[in-house]
Amino acid sequence: MEEIILQATTREVIGKQVRALRRAGRLPAVIYGRHVGAIPISLDAHATSYTLAGISSSQLITVVVDGSSKHTTLLRDRQRHPITGNLLHIDFLAVSMTEKLRAMVRIHLVGDSPAMKNYDAVMVTGHEEVEVESLPGDLPESIVVDLSTLKEIGDGVYVRDLPVPVGVEVLVEPDEMIVLMTAPSIAVETGEGLVEAGAESEPEVIERGKREEEEF
């Protein structure tokens, strides 16, 4: 995993005064943690937005404060402007590399399912991310699920099937669904007219037919 480093400076400006900080191209943020008191900082807004684009909550970020003090952190919160979408504030959680922690890790679906191509199966998804526990250095950026292994209608991937690295414990029930290939709905005639079979109990349908590659 590529090391992510952000350069920051100590921030004394707080409250409504941070508006002037933002106008100057700086992004207010704070570092906090179990062994670290709250450290108000500011970063270059443009460079930080570019660096953190697509970063997951399980990726380690090194924040260097005033050119000397280094903190290993996780991204805990990003506040954005409701209209422009620009970053307004960031919370970084300082972590110890020798203490286990819990974090959410996203599920990354790759490949194409033969069941969708050959049987017009419908792909239904469950969890898009799962909570895990591990040492910070063992946290995966994402957990990859290969759809090419799903060849028949009824094939699925459950939490128990997730390929997690050694030292990582998934804190979700093993039988929880990640993705499942189901039969396409069939319109059947009843006393009340035409309805879709299974429409009342079928989970949310995410895709039908050939799946387009997901972007992350």
- pLDDT tens column, 80-109: 989 998 999 999 999 999 999 999 999 999
Cα 172 to Cα 103, 104, 118, 123, 157: the distances in Å are: 12, 11, 32, 21, 14
Compute the average pLDDT of residues 50-67. Answer: 92
pLDDT, tens digit (0-9, with 9 covering 90-100), for 119-150: 999 999 999 999 999 999 999 999 999 999 99
**CA angle, 206 as apex, 203 and 210 as ends, to 5°?**
130
71 and 11 share one domain:
yes
Claim to verify: residue 113 and residue 183 sit in the same structural domain: yes
Expressed as residue numbers, the domain containing 119 is: 102-208
How much is the average pLDDT of 111-125? 95
Do 123 and 78 lie in a common domain?
Answer: no
Query: Which pTM value belongs to this model?
Result: 0.75
Residue at a domain's end among 96, 112, 146: 96
Give 65-85 pLDDT, tens digit per residue: 999 899 999 999 999 989 998
Is the domain of 114 the same as that of 60?
no
Q: Quick check: 87 and 48 in contact, CB under 8 A? A: yes
